[in-house]
Amino acid sequence: MTVVLETRNLVKKFGGITATDNVSFKLRKGARHALIGPNGAGKTTFVNQLSGVLQPTSGTVLLGGQDITGWSARRRAISGLARTFQINQLFADFTPAQTIVLAIAERENKGWEWFRPAGTRSEYVDEAVELLRSLGLSDVLDQRVGSLAYGRQRLLEIAIAVAAKPHVLLLDEPAAGVPESERDQILDVVSALPEEVALVLIEHDMDLVFRFARSISVLVNGALFVEGTPSEIANDPRVRQVYLGEEELLHV
């Protein structure tokens, strides 16, 4: 399978801290990849550099073989790279419906349209409703986002990224703060994505990780510690060492 996203010797330093330590990483088309690691390992920092929210100190990022290190977050987004944030980044005064219609309008390059009311594009509204329903958000689709329960906001965060119809989707702890009962919806939506979409899931819930992933990378202290299939990772004594105290992994 072709490599869609790649980093070469990626380094990010915050003053004295090396948050990303010489990471060379390849993500293939259709990947179901989990990125795990203890708190502070540098997972979010890594995703921030992939999505253009942060500039690396050195190294390169490639999307579809093209060097995108200097690209803005916006340009990466319109090139098919979408992400969710560990800390919700939503439009608090919009409704979920407005949010997704806007995201679709931007995807369709209609963001400059200034005369026709957004709500009259029924194909966008229909698509938004479809998506929100798949995440179980249909009952709140016309409520103010800022007033939604945290778990619901979390699901909307995912909906925004999915609405972009990306080739590469980076999910930074999507299930954190989502009630147990609603976590399956996240996996359902993610599984419903086209097979060729490359997915990266950052997650501490090992149950979710092992149900989702076909390959796993472990990040420790900013560096890629080990990569492998779920069973390789689950049985790797070094990984157990790193996760000592985190019981979930041992149960797999």
Partner 1 sequence: MTDFTDDRLRARESVISGSRWYWPEFLFWIAAASLFFLVPTKLTLLSEIFILGLMALSIDLVLGFAGIVTLGQAAFFGLGAYSAALMAKHGYGAFLFGIIPVNDPLLGLVVAAIVAGIVGFATSFLVLRGSDLTRLMVTLGVGLIIEELANKMKSVTGGSDGLQGVMPAPVLGKWDFDLYGQVAFCYTLAVLFVMFMLVRRLVHSPFGLSLKAIKQNPLRARTIGMPVNARLVAVYTIAAMIAGVAGGLLSQTTQFGSLDMVAFHRSADALLILIFGGAGYLYGGLVGAVAFRVMQDFLGNITPQYWQFWLGVILLILVLFVRGGILGLLRNGREFLSHPGAAKAGAGAVLRALIERRSPLALIFFKGAAKKVISDKRSERDGESGKGAGGV
Ligand X SMILES: Nc1ncnc2c1ncn2[C@@H]1O[C@H](COP(=O)(O)OP(=O)(O)OP(=O)(O)O)[C@@H](O)[C@H]1O
The residues of the shown chain that bind partner 1, judged by CB under 8 A, are 51, 53, 72-74, 77-78, 82-83, 85, 89-95, 97-98, 101-103, 105-107, 110-120, 122, 125-126, 128-129, 132-133, 138-139, 141-142, 160, 163-164
State the minimum distance, in angstroms, from the CB of residue 141 to ligand X: 29
The entry of partner 1, Mg ion, ligand X, none near residue 14 (CB within 5 to 8 angstroms by kind) is: ligand X
For 237, counting Cβ atoms within 10 Å of its Cβ (0-12 exposed, 13-18 middle, 19+ buried), the class is exposed
Which among Mg ion, partner 1, ligand X, none contacts residue 41 (Cβ within 5 to 8 A by kind)? Answer: ligand X
Distances (CA, A) of 150 to 31, 35, 177, 182: 29, 24, 7, 12
Considering all CA atoms of the chain, what is the largest pairwise distance in Å, rounded to the nearest integer? 61
Decide whether 3 or 176 has the Cβ nearer to Mg ion. 176
Find the radius of gyration of the CA atoms of the chain: 18
> Is 202 exposed, middle or buried, given 0-12, 13-18 or 19+ CB atoms closer than 10 A?
buried
Of 86, 88, 134, 215, which one interacts with ligand X (CB under 6 A)? 86
Q: How far apart are CA 201 and CA 209, in angstroms?
A: 8
Subset of residues 19 to 58 that bind ligand X, contact rule: CB under 6 A: 19, 37, 39-45
* 70 binding ligand X? (CB under 6 A): no
At 246, which amino acid appears?
E
Residues that bind ligand X (CB under 6 A): 14, 17, 19, 37, 39-45, 86
